[in-house]
Every structure is written in C-alpha cells, then in structure tokens.
Structure 1
Amino acid sequence: MPDVQDLQGVLDEWAREAGVPGAVVGVLHDGRESVLTTGVSSVDTGLAVDAGTLFMIGSTSKTFAAAAVLALVEDGVLDLDKPVVEYLPGLKLADPVARKTVTLRHLLTHSAGFLGDVDLDTGWGDDALARAVEQFGDLPQIFPPGEVFSYCNAGFQLVGRVVEVVSGEPFEDVVRARLLEPLSMTESYYLPWDVLTRRHAVGHVDQAVAHTVGLTRADSASGGLWSTAADQLKWARFFLTGESAGEPPLSAAARDLMRSPQRKAALRFEEVGLSWLHTTHGPARLVRHGGNVSNLQLSEFVTLPEENFAVTVLTNSAAGAELGRKVVDWCLEQLVGVPPVASLPPRPTPSLGEYSGRYETGQLAFEVTDRDGALWAQLVADVEDFPSPPPFEAVFVADDAIAPAADTRAPTARFLRNEHGEVTSVEFGGRTARRRATVTG
C-alpha cells in the first residue's frame, strides 16, 4: 500500500493541472500526522506555501460555532431545543411562527427555513454580528422551521450571536478561550489584523490575486476562521480520540452528539449532525465539512472515525474544489484501502418537461433545461464577481436524482415532489430550492 509521502508527486501534478496556485494537505493516519505543501501563497509574491501558512477554512468554521454552543450547553446556560427568541428577545424574523419556534438545533442542522445565503457587511467592529442579526427580519422564510434541510449560513450567524449574548463576550473571544486555547490551536485566527502579520495565503481568480478576503466579520461563525493544516489536524484528533493539550473543551458525550446524525440532509450530503455533515465513499461513512470562501479559498475536512483517519486540504483558488476531491479520494483509496466509488449506470430519461425550470433560493438558482432531448443543468449565482460554473449535461442515476453525464459516481441533485406527485423543488449543493415560492416575505 502506498505511503502518504507518495501523495507529494500527484499533489504537485494535480495542482499544476488544475491551476491551483498553492495548497497544503494534512493527513492523520495510523496515529501519525503528515503535512505536504505545493505552490505559492500568492502569485504576486511567489512566496512558497509552507506548513505554517494560514488559509481560510471557510464553512468548517461552523463546527467551531457548534462546539461553542455545546460547551455552553454543558455549562447549563443554553438548551438546544429552547426557542432562540428566549435568548434574543429582540430577534426579528419575517415569519412570526418561525420567530417563536426556531431553536439552536434547527440552526445547527440547517433546518430553520429562512434564507441562508446572505451578504451582510456590517463592518469589523465587535458589534458586527449584532448588526447583522438586526437585519434578519428582512430574510424570507422559505420553508417552515424543521421541514427540510437547506444549507444556511445565516443560521450560523444567528448561532454566533446567541453565543455572544449568553457569554457576554465577542464570538471570536469565546471560541479562542473555550476551544482553541485548550486544544493548543495557536495558529488559528478570525480577525485580519491577526492574520496579516503572519504567513498567509490569498485568494486567486484566473491565476490572479483577488484583492479581497471574500467575507466580513459578521461571517465569523459561519465561515471566517483562518488556520493551518497542523491546527486542523488537532481539531480532527480531538473529535476522533478526545486528545486535548489542556482541559478537554467538550465531554465525549458532547463530541458524539455533534457527530451523530440528527436528520436527513440535502444532496450532496446525506445526513447532518450538529454542524458535521455525513457522506459516503463506497462502504465508508465519512464525517466531514469543508468550505468555499467566495470561490477564492476552498477547503476539505474529512474524517473516517472507525479508522482514526482524517485529511484536510486547504487551497487558494476555485480550482481547489477539484484538487481537494482528488486528494481526499486518493487518501481514502490508497492509504485506508477504501474501494474506489463505482459509476452509477444512467437510467432511461423520463419526460423532461416536468423537471425543466428555474429553482431559486436567494441569490442561488438551479436551472434545468431540455436541449434536444438531453437534460442540462447549471448552478447560477446572481452575485457580483462570483462567476457561475458552466452548464453540464446530466443523466438520471436514481429516481428523480441526476448526476453529470461525465461523472456518474454520485448524484448531485435530487428533485422533490409534493403530495400530488408534482416536482416542486430540488436539492443541489446542500440547498433545497423551490420554484420561486416562499412561505412569507
């Protein structure tokens, strides 16, 4: 079986082929940690990525927000199933029923139902989260609370605000004191003035430096942490084995609760715990996260608990998505011995008319069209400076589920029907999108 150091050559090759300026990979296997690097942190400076280079981990930050909540639950000051409004009496939501009933468990499982992809720039002061949450009354309630999973960044902003209010400290300070310091994660930071004085990667678009970080302070809880591969492996070790440099920030029961499935998720995920996401790789059941910071820095964080295995991939361009998938697959198959995922055979094409249309959720949409009897799909991002990926030909690989014709190893979208059998929504990218319909707002 190959050794982890055999990954270096293919990492260099894949990064070059994909056009990823720089990347770092951390692997935990057989109790040993390995960190491999490739490329540069910035094409402008040419500074090589090293093991200490900070990258934005994006939405893996949500697992830190969830852990902060669980720490406060263990303190007895939070309850996962108590309405959030009891902690934030001034909370405004568009739907009065949601305002009365949304809980932390809803928020941590992406099932609160209100619009999740929002861009609220409220500055870099300690009041950034508070000011963002003050605008939540403008977010449309797309689904009733608890009805469906639909990936919700805004929900984790609300989580962060609850943490601030009950602790009386800025969210970032709570995470540092309750999580980062006990785990000796000394190279993980939220605020740009902490990052800029250290080696860090910058995001790229089309092999050119993007002169923005892509997030604001209001996004700290949902995606704002910068970290190194070594610190990410400390996070992995804690959840896999309970290892902690100081007093463990969570009990074993709380760690298990965070990872245990809470409900069915939306494709490309299968189930969700309290922030942690579940997928499969053949027979292997993965507990994972990962992130995408405005298509500038993309990451993967994957664990296989029964093998005490973890891999993290941090990259500084949109092409890092492809690179991350390849690295994760290589590690699972070559190091752990998980069989490669087989392609699913295409099924006969049903009537395309009932699927064609535009499915929307905020600034994201999934467009499905019939091109001379072939099904084509495209994710459309109606966001400035956020290019939409190209359309792809799709084939059916299961009932109401499609995959790209060029890669049918796993379905990437699933259509949902109402009680009358009509296609009314679609799951894609972890989102659930309807045909231009909302409950309120």
Structure 2
Amino acid sequence: MSKSVQELQGLLDEWAREASVPGAVVGIAHDGAESVFATGVSSVDTGLPVDTETLFMIGSTSKTFAAAAVLALVEDGLLDLDKPVVEYLPGLRLADPVARKTVTTRHLLTHSAGFLGDVDFTTGWGDNALALAIEQFGDLPQVFPVGEMFSYCNAGFQLAGRVAEVVAGIPFEDLVRTRLLEPLGMTSSYYLPWEVLTRRHSVGHTLREEGPVVEHAVGLTRADSASGGLWSTAADQLKWARFFLTGESAGEAPLSDETRDLLRAPQRKAALPFEEVGLSWLRTSHGDARLVRHGGNVANLQVSEFVTLPEANFAVTVLTNSAGGGVLGPKIVDWCLENLVGLPSIASATALPPSSPGQYTGRYETGDLAFEITDRDGALWAQMVVNIEDVPSPPAFEVVFVGEDVLARAADTRKAAARFLRDERNRVTSVEFGGRTARRRATVTG
C-alpha cells in the first residue's frame, strides 16, 4: 500500500469543494480494517455538518437489496427466477402480449425485460404505492423483445419488488427490513421519509452558477423503493459490503454463500459503462481487476458509489448530496484502488478523429431520459437530458472517439462513456450510455 488511508481526508475536503459537493461521506473496508471520512454540510441552508452517521440516499444501490430479498424468497422455495412473472401476478398488464407471457424475474433482475425502464410514477406513500404503479405498466412500450438486450431498467426492479411483496405477503420495505437489514445489523437504513426526518440526514442540492442550492424535493416516491429508495449511512453500507465479501452478519446470515455468489456472478453482457450484469450487481474492470459494484443517482440531487474488489477483500462507498458526486465519487474510488489496493492507474486512450460525425448526431430517447449528440464547430458534445419536470439535466460535455463507434469524455479518455450500435445496413440506430440502450427507431409496441 503506497499511501495511508488517512491521507484521504484532505483529498476529500479538497475534491468535494472542486466538484461543488456540499457534503459527502466515504467508507472504506480493506482486509478487515475500516475507515469512514466526512466532509462539508448536509444542507447549505442550515450549515449542519455532515458526520459519519448522516443518512444519504443511496439511489440504485437499493437494487442490490431488492435482488437479495427476491433471492431470499427463492431460498424459501416460494419463488422461481425462471417462472413467468404473470404466474405470481395474474392481473399484470404489459403492452406486448408476448412479453406478458414470457418475462421472468431473472429478466427483471438483469435489466433485460425489454420494456421502457425510465419512467416516473407518483402513486403516494401508502402501502399500496407499488401496486398502483404496477397497474400502469400496460402503458409502458416494449422497446426490445424480452431477453434480447440489456438496457438499465428501473421499472423492472419495481415489478420485481411487487412480485416479492406479493409472494411474501408483506410490504416490500418490511420484507427487506426483516430479511436483510435486521439480520445484518443495518439499523441506520430506512425507506420511508417519516423514518428519515427524525434522524440526521442530508438533503439534495441543485448546482447553479452561484453554487449548490437546496432542492426542496426528495427526487423519488415510495413506488421507487425497490429501484432506488433506500437511505443509509456509510457504516451500514460497509456492513452490506462485508456480508458480500466475507459472509459476515450480526445475526443469522440472510442468504447462503451459494446465493451470495449467484447474485454477483455474471448473467449476461451489459451496456456501457458496464461490462456484465449479475442479479442486480454490475461488473466493470480497473485494468485487469474485476470490480463488482453499483451506485446511484437520485434526480441529480444525491449521487453515490459502491464498489467492491472481492479478491482484495476491499470495498468503498461514497455518498454525496449534489450532482457533483458524479465527479467526486469515481475520483475517490480510483484513488483508493490505486493507492490503497495498489492497482495500476488506467492509461488515457488516444483520441481518434471522427469519421463522418454527422452520422452520430441527434437525439436518442429512452423514456424520461435522452442522450443528445451535437456538433459544435467540428467538436462533438453529449448531454444526458432528463425529461422530468423540475429535475435538472447534467451539463453537456465534449466527447471524442477512443475506438470504433466508442466515445469518451474529452476531459478524461481513460473510460468509455458511450457506444453506438448499428443495424444490418450499417446505420447508427442506437447508443449505449449510462447503462441504457436508447434507439432512434420505433419501439416494438407502443
């Protein structure tokens, strides 16, 4: 280990300011030792300092809890991953009749159900919120045939959560609490706002020219619990990491070793920036090292990272309260991998001149998200556009080609950001970005 973990506190303070992140917490577990660092404030309005017990929204890392809850029911013999979902939810409506008959829970947990994944359901905060959202699934277009493509699908995890609560006979949040959180001693993790508001918690911030500003919104509703609704602390996230790394549990282990391994084992190829997907868990590389990870982004208000390297018994989580966490989190993760674990740094790729850049420009849509490529005086720029009222889109950024049909940010060419896909006539028809596969052409149904 070339550097001491204690050096990270100063870097966290500095990098958070540079990224316009008002407050952040970093938790690290490595070879049985743990460290937690905090910086900044939970709200720029109150100035209340972030500490190691401050709750943050972990966003889509919540999907790993949903998948684990589903697998607990599989272990109970109550649920079969490869049985059509409609057998558990006979009243299920989907736009495509073939999808309704064939989509399985495994498809849902591997982002390959094919129906539109980025949608916003506002169905209140009652115990029936998830059921009311699923009643609207008949309106979701079937973008790909079931099982054909990986495209990151929040709606799929909502449906998986509904299957789990119906099979278990209790609300989804109670299932996760009793089967996972309590056995693991994760006593500072919550789904419901009335549980969070009485405890020290961070609020989300919008980035404006004058700096971070408190956004008076949560960014998710109860229907999003399975796909992204968990609040947690760095210490609790490290308990989740230790369970998956070593099987450690405060009480009786909620899952067998075989099931823990199954959740992380590759199931299929994924879309950039991911390489493979397990049952919820995402897999990428840092050089030759294989990372098992997740992370989350709640309406660009709270952004997190959760990365493990099993062979090094290493995990790091970064929790932040602004869109700047999208810069801060990866920077912290890379520093830890390179300076604590000792992995070599990733070399920058050489930028390649684009061939006929006009063939790539345009708008690629997937539900409430779009990916826009524009030509600015010969340079290509990209932007993820959020088509949700009052939810800001992150700023556009310049991109360069680093491989055939593969883009990276011009400011950092170490990692690919997007990949274009072509049809049998060699026409650019879709793009992979942020784990989504967005198409130019019409959907299968809709």
Q: Same fold (TM over 0.5)?
A: yes
CA distance in 2, matches of 1:21, 1:368: 30
Give the Å deviation of 1:122.
0.4
CA distance in 2, matches of 1:256, 1:145: 25
Query: Does 2:382 align with 1:377?
Result: yes
SS in structure 2 at match of 1:360: strand
TM-score, with length taken from structure 1: 0.98
Give the Å deviation of 1:395.
1.5
CA distance in 2, matches of 1:53, 1:376: 37
Query: Does 2:251 align with 1:253?
Result: no
SS in structure 2 at match of 1:23: strand
CA distance in 1, matches of 2:323, 2:109: 26
- Which of 203, 226, 246 aligns to 1:221? It is 226
CA distance in 1, matches of 2:301, 2:385: 17
CA distance in 1, matches of 2:57, 2:396: 28
Counterpart residue number, 2:311: 306
CA deviation profile, 1:127-155 (whole Å, cap 9, x unmatched): 00000000000011111111111111011
Contact 1:360–1:436 (Cα < 8 Å) also in 2: no
Give the Å deviation of 1:376.
2.5
Counterpart residue number, 2:54: 53
Contact 1:359–1:436 (Cα < 8 Å) also in 2: no
Contact 1:180–1:186 (Cα < 8 Å) also in 2: yes
Counterpart residue type for residue 385 of structure 1: D
Counterpart residue number, 1:4: 5
CA distance in 2, matches of 1:237, 1:162: 28
Give the Å deviation of 1:436.
4.3
Contact 2:300–2:394 (Cα < 8 Å) also in 1: no
Counterpart residue type for residue 171 of structure 2: P
TM-score, with length taken from structure 2: 0.97
SS in structure 1 at match of 2:381: strand
Counterpart residue type for residue 65 of structure 1: A
CA distance in 1, matches of 2:411, 2:25: 28
Counterpart residue number, 1:345: 350
Name stretches of at least 5 consecutive residues in structure 1 with no aligned partner: none
CA deviation profile, 1:380-400 (whole Å, cap 9, x unmatched): 222222222333222211111
CA distance in 1, matches of 2:375, 2:228: 36
SS in structure 1 at match of 2:9: helix
Farther-moved stretch of structure 1 (394-403 vs 351-360): 351-360
CA distance in 2, matches of 1:205, 1:280: 31
- After TM superposition, the runs of 4+ consecutive aligned structure 1 residues lying more than 4 A away are none
CA distance in 2, matches of 1:131, 1:369: 39
Counterpart residue number, 1:35: 36
Counterpart residue type for residue 265 of structure 1: A
Counterpart residue number, 1:129: 130
- Which of 332, 336, 340 aligns to 1:331? It is 336
Matches within 5 A, 1:165-204: 165-204=166-205
Identical aligned pairs, as a percentage?
Answer: 79
CA distance in 1, matches of 2:318, 2:369: 25
CA deviation profile, 1:219-253 (whole Å, cap 9, x unmatched): 00000000010000000000000011111111111
CA deviation profile, 1:254-288 (whole Å, cap 9, x unmatched): 01110011011001111100000011112221100
Query: Does 2:297 align with 1:296?
Result: no
CA distance in 2, matches of 1:215, 1:372: 38
CA deviation profile, 1:272-319 (whole Å, cap 9, x unmatched): 000000111122211000001111111000000000000000111111
- Which of 327, 346, 349 aligns to 1:322? It is 327
SS in structure 2 at match of 1:408: strand
Counterpart residue number, 1:361: 366
CA deviation profile, 1:173-202 (whole Å, cap 9, x unmatched): 000110001101011011111111111111
Give the Å deviation of 1:45.
1.7
Root-mean-square deviation (Å):
1.0
SS in structure 2 at match of 1:409: strand
Q: How many residues align?
A: 441
CA distance in 2, matches of 1:193, 1:410: 40
Counterpart residue type for residue 407 of structure 1: D
Farther-moved stretch of structure 1 (182-191 vs 389-398): 389-398
Name stretches of at least 5 consecutive residues in structure 2 with no aligned partner: none
Matches within 5 A, 1:226-305: 226-305=231-310
Counterpart residue number, 1:65: 66
Give the Å deviation of 1:370.
3.1
